Structures are given as C-alpha cells and as structure tokens.
Amino acid sequence: MTVPDAPPPHVMVRADQVHKYFGRLEVLRGIDLTVNAGQVCVLLGPSGSGKSTFLRCINHLEKVTSGRIWVAGDLMGYRQRGDKLYELRDKQIAAQRRDIGMVFQRFNLFPHLTALQNVMEAPLRVKSEPREQVREQAKALLDRVGLADKAASYPAQLSGGQQQRVAIARALAMRPKLMLFDEPTSALDPELVGEVLDVMQGLARDGMTMIVVTHEIGFAREVGHQVVFMDAGVVVESGSPREVIDNPREERTRAFLAKVL
Amino acid sequence: MTGQPEPLKAVPVRHPGRWVAVAVIVVLAAMFAHLLLTNDAFHWSFMFRNMFTPAVLRGVQGTLLMTVLAMFFGIALGIGVAIARLSPNPVLRGVAWVYTWVFRAVPRLVLLALLGNLNILWPQISFGVPFDTYIGKIFGITDLHLRVFEGQTRNLLTGFVAGLIGLALSEAAYMAEIVRAGMQSIDPGQEEAATALGMRRSQTLRRIVLPQAMRVIIPPTGNETIAMLKDTSLLIYVPVTAELFFQLSAVGSRTFLPFPMYVAASLWYLAMVSVLLVGQHFLERYFARGHRTEQARIRLAGIAGEQGGTL
C-alpha cells in the first residue's frame, strides 16, 4: 500500500479516502476533497448525506475510521513515521484544532459568559495571551460582526442571528487558518439569516479559507469557489458553482436542487 | 402614558376552603402552644439556663466547624470522583464507581463507629514501603522496617479527625453523584464548542462545564449541607466531644432531664439551618446568572425601566 504524502502548501485541506462508520452504519464512504488556501468550499446535500459528519472529521471532533485528512500541512489526529501511524495525545490534537475555527448550527455560545467573555475565553485560556490585548482584539472582532454594543450582553439576551455572529467572532479570536461552518443559518428565523451570511461573505472577501455546510443555494452560488454535492456518504459531483448548481451533470444533484431552489 | 385601556373589572374566584383551613390551623396551633406552656416536663427555664453555657457554645462552634470542613473536603473529593466517573480512562471510571458504591452503601452512623474504633484493629499507623517485612524475608533479613513515619492510632486519629474523615468520605460519594448529574445536564454542544476552540479536557471542565453545572449542583448541595449539619449529631458515636449534641446530651444525662436538652438541640439545629437556608438562596441566585429565567427577569426590568416604571 502506498502512503499518501502531505499536500503542497497552497492546499489548506486535503481529505483522502475518508471513511466513517457509526457502529455498522457507514456514514462516509470514501470522501476525497481538496480545498486551496483562500477558497470557499460549500458542501451541499440532503440531510443524512454525511456533510456535517465530514466537517466534524476535519477538526477531529469525530475520528475517521479510515483515510486521512490534512489541514495546513498537518495530518489530523496522527503522526506519521515511515508508513506507521501514531495516535496523537489529547494535548497535541487540541493544539492542531487551534488553527481551525468552527461555527455550529445551534451557536453553542457559553451561556454563563457575556458576548465579550465568549470571544476572549479561548485566546486567554488556550493561548495565554495578555488580557488587555485579548480584550482589545475581542472588541474589534465584535465590532467586525456588527455587535460592538452587545459586548456586555449574555447569549440569552441576544437574538439567534446576533448569537451566531458572536460565535463567528469567538472562532475568529483564535486567528484560525480555516473556518468550518456547520449549517450556520439553519436554526435562524428567516429574517435573521441575511445578517449572518453577510458576515460570512465579508470573511470570504478577506481571503479566509472556509468550508461551509449549508442549504443556502444563493450563498453557495455567490460566495463559493467550489461546490461539492454529497449524498449517502459519497461526493456525487463537485466543481464551480456554475457547473454544479447551474449545470449539474448528475441526475441526483438535479433532483436535489429542484427541491431546494 | 395615554390611551392605556382600563383593567378588566371582574369578581375574583372565592376560596372558602382556604378560610376553613386557616381556622383549623389556628386551633391546632393554639392547642400546641397550650401543651408547651402547661406541661412542666418541658422545664423551660432549666432548658434556657443550660442551652447557652460555654461548653454548649463550644459544641455549637465544633458542629459548625465540622460541617464546614466535612462539606469542603466532601465537595472537593466528590468533584474529583465525578470527573473520574466521566473520564475516558476506564481505570479511573472503575475506581470511582467502586468508591461511590461502597460509601453510599455503608450507613454514616456505622462508618463513624468503625472509624472511631480503628485503634482496636491497628493500634499503630505507619507509612513507608508496603510489605517491607515480607520483602525483607525474601532477602533473608528478619524484621526489615522501611518506615517513614509511625504513630499511635489513638493520637493520630482523634475523635475529631476520625469523625471528619468519616463524614467527608461519605459526603464525597453523594456529592460525586450530584456533580455527575450536573455535568451531564450540560448540552454536549458546550463541550464540543470548547474542544473545537482548542481547549483541553481539563480546561473545558473547569471553565465551561463545571460553572454551568453549578446551577444544577448548588440546590442539592445546599440540601446536603443542611443534612451534614444535622448528621454531625451522629459524631456522638465516634465519639467527638466538641460537638453540640454531645454537649447537650451530657447535660441531659447528668441532670436526669434528657427531654428538655433534646428540645434545646432541636431549637439550636432549627436556628442554624435557618441561617443556611438564607445563604443557599443567595448562592442559587448568583449561579443562575446568564440563565434564561434570570435573563428574562433582567430584560423585563429593562423594559419596565425604559417605560418609566419599576418591576
């Protein structure tokens, strides 16, 4: 068996034949994916197609059953010596995750901390940066997502859209190289979706590498550099938004798009 | 404010049952008061004379100190056991399970009696290399002693220390279950978010999970503290002398008037628990911050304030 090499530096994420089982259920069936630095990759597909699971494999929240994932040149969760793999310790995996921001469908803000404290928590505890510097950075990030005036609010005092924007600021506070978005607007009232997508679009414009699981086809078409359509644990087709959304080759993709458009 | 509609005028629902209940309670209370005042066996003046003596006050001090110390060590150990119980490490999980099993199964009274009489089993306690005499035999040395520290059990394990160990060990088992329930009540998304930010398990527990679990942990811990305060009366079986119930019982048996002293004990415990209840109220309010109901209260107050009113 040949051992795949680490990808070249301009590749932010490479997944190589990723399989994932939950018990005997095969959720991912050999996913290959390459996302270049500065690109936005949108994962589309029906629920249960494995998009979210794949996203969670990228930052090792889920362990892959087989296959490999590299992020910014690091093999996630393992160290390779020769053709032998060694599992990384909890501490080392945590260090790998620092470069990867994640935004969740249900925000998962820390409810016992204010918006500002939510954004400050990780740089303070994980990177042990000086408090004043962290506070200034957190204020700037809240300002960037349009919530400078909500710094002292607790999550329960914010609307869903505001909470999700705080969550994005919280992830950015670690100055990640890659941002993962797991259906960031699916839990929002329709009128609040726009404000979150605007923030994400701004991030993309600033050159952030992003992988976005979403059902927002408009966002995929406008912001995505690469669109990947997944179904039943495999990549059905991928390419530019023009190719996948406007001229899908596969019948399965066409059927899905017909339902969501 | 203009145009505010007039509130509805309606005859409120009548509650005749409540008035009947009030009448019944008043009669019962009067009967009870009559009983307290007319029965000489209460020996009220004797009781009041003897429930504030210096010895009894020292006993109160001892009871409070014991409660604080036993709860402190019980909570600390209990959090440790709970974390071990939820650890990915199977050895820790097993040890934690056995611990809670044993110390929840043995009654506190029995545990205290056991600890109070350990000197029967081991008159001496020493720390050093385990099985040193056996190891010596293997190498042909008789009576090899590799001990760092030795002492008489009676001196090391005084009544107070034995009682404290017993109460703290037993409390830790219950606290472990309470803390575990609290930690498991937190949305797994919280741990996930912290993990995704690069926090390690210990940081996630300390900074994210435990502070939120506190809201769930505090009310039963208040109950545990109250139960502990009362369970210090079991220390009479160790025995511990610097303790309220021991002191009051001593007066009772010396004067052959036990009953008034038991009433005195009840009054003392009633007073001390009342103080604890007030403390519990404020603790609960503090740890509810950021939580939905508390936030709703703050928000309503804010709205009321904006409209020039108060809540």
Q: Do the chains contact at B198 and A109, CB–CB below 8 Å? A: no
- Which residues in chain B have Cβ-Cβ distances shorter than 8 Å to A98? 197-198
Q: Residue A66: in which H helix or E strand, if any? A: strand A66-71
- Strands laid side by side in the A74-75 sheet: A25-36, A11-22, A66-71, A74-75
A110: closest CA of chain B, how far (Å): 7
Q: Give the pLDDT confidence of B105-116 residue by residue, as tens digits.
A: 999 999 999 998
| pLDDT (mean) for A5-27 | 92
| pLDDT (mean) for A89-104 | 94
Whether the per-residue pLDDT at B143 is higher than 90: the answer is no
Whether the per-residue pLDDT at A226 is higher than 90: the answer is yes
Q: Do the chains contact at B292 and A156, CB–CB below 8 Å? A: yes
Q: Residue B66: in which H helix or E strand, if any? A: helix B54-85
Q: Say if B285 is an interface residue toward chain A (CB within 8 Å).
A: no
Q: Say if B189 is an interface residue toward chain A (CB within 8 Å).
A: yes
B201: closest CA of chain A, how far (Å): 8
Q: Say if B204 is an interface residue toward chain A (CB within 8 Å).
A: no
A200-207 contacts, C-beta under 8 A, 24 or more apart: A200/A168, A202/A144, A203/A168, A203/A172, A203/A179, A204/A40, A207/A38
Model pLDDT, residue B311: 44
CB of B245 closer than 8 Å to CB of B265: yes
- Tell me how many residue pairs between chain A and chain B have CB atoms under 8 A apart: 77
| pLDDT (mean) for A147-157 | 95
Phi, psi of B112, deg, nearest 5: -65, -40
| pLDDT (mean) for B140-164 | 80
pLDDT band at B304 (very low <50, low <70, confident <90, very high): low
Q: Give the pLDDT confidence of B238-279 residue by residue, as tens digits.
A: 888 889 999 999 999 999 999 999 999 999 999 999 999 998
Q: Residue B221: in which H helix or E strand, if any? A: helix B210-231
Q: Which residue has the tokens 């509805």?
A: B8
Model pLDDT, residue A5: 74
Whether the per-residue pLDDT at A1 is higher than 50: the answer is no
Whether the per-residue pLDDT at B310 is higher than 60: the answer is no
Whether the per-residue pLDDT at A128 is higher than 90: the answer is yes
Q: Say if B12 is an interface residue toward chain A (CB within 8 Å).
A: no
* Smallest CA–CA distance from B289 into chain A, residue: A112
Q: Give the pLDDT confidence of A167-203 residue by residue, as tens digits.
A: 999 999 999 999 999 999 999 999 999 999 999 999 9
- Which residues in chain B have Cβ-Cβ distances shorter than 8 Å to A154? 289-290, 295
Model pLDDT, residue A4: 67
Biggest CA pair distance of chain B: 103
pLDDT band at A56 (very low <50, low <70, confident <90, very high): very high
| Amino acid letter, B23 | A
Model pLDDT, residue A189: 92
Q: ipTM of the predicted structure?
A: 0.92
Whether the per-residue pLDDT at B99 is higher than 60: the answer is yes
CA dihedral defined by B122, B123, B129, B131, rounded to 10 degrees?
Answer: -50
The pair of three-digit structure tokens given for residue B198, joined into one six-digit string: 């690069």
CB of A39 closer than 8 Å to CB of A212: no
Share of chain A above pLDDT 90, in %: 92
pLDDT band at B296 (very low <50, low <70, confident <90, very high): low
Model pLDDT, residue B220: 92
CA nearest B59: which of B245, B228, B265? B245
| Amino acid letter, B171 | E
CB of A160 closer than 8 Å to CB of A104: no
pLDDT band at A7 (very low <50, low <70, confident <90, very high): confident
The CA distances from residue B145 to B123, B138, B139, B148, B150, in Å, are 17, 14, 13, 9, 11
CB of B228 closer than 8 Å to CB of B67: yes
Partner residue opposite A90 with nearest CB, options B192, B194, B200? B200
Q: Which of B135-144, B208-217, B275-284 has the highest mean pLDDT?
A: B208-217
- Altogether, the residues listed in chain A come to a count of 261
| pLDDT (mean) for B297-309 | 56
Q: Give the pLDDT confidence of B29-79 residue by residue, as tens digits.
A: 999 999 988 888 888 999 999 989 999 999 999 999 999 999 999 999 999
CB of A58 closer than 8 Å to CB of A71: yes
Whether the per-residue pLDDT at B148 is higher than 80: the answer is no
Average pLDDT for chain B: 88
- Ranking B95-104, B205-214, B299-308 by mean pLDDT, the lowest is B299-308
Whether the per-residue pLDDT at B302 is higher than 60: the answer is no
Model pLDDT, residue B303: 56
Question: Which of A112, A116, A153 should we substitute to test contact with B (largest number of B Cβ atoms within 10 Å)?
Answer: A112
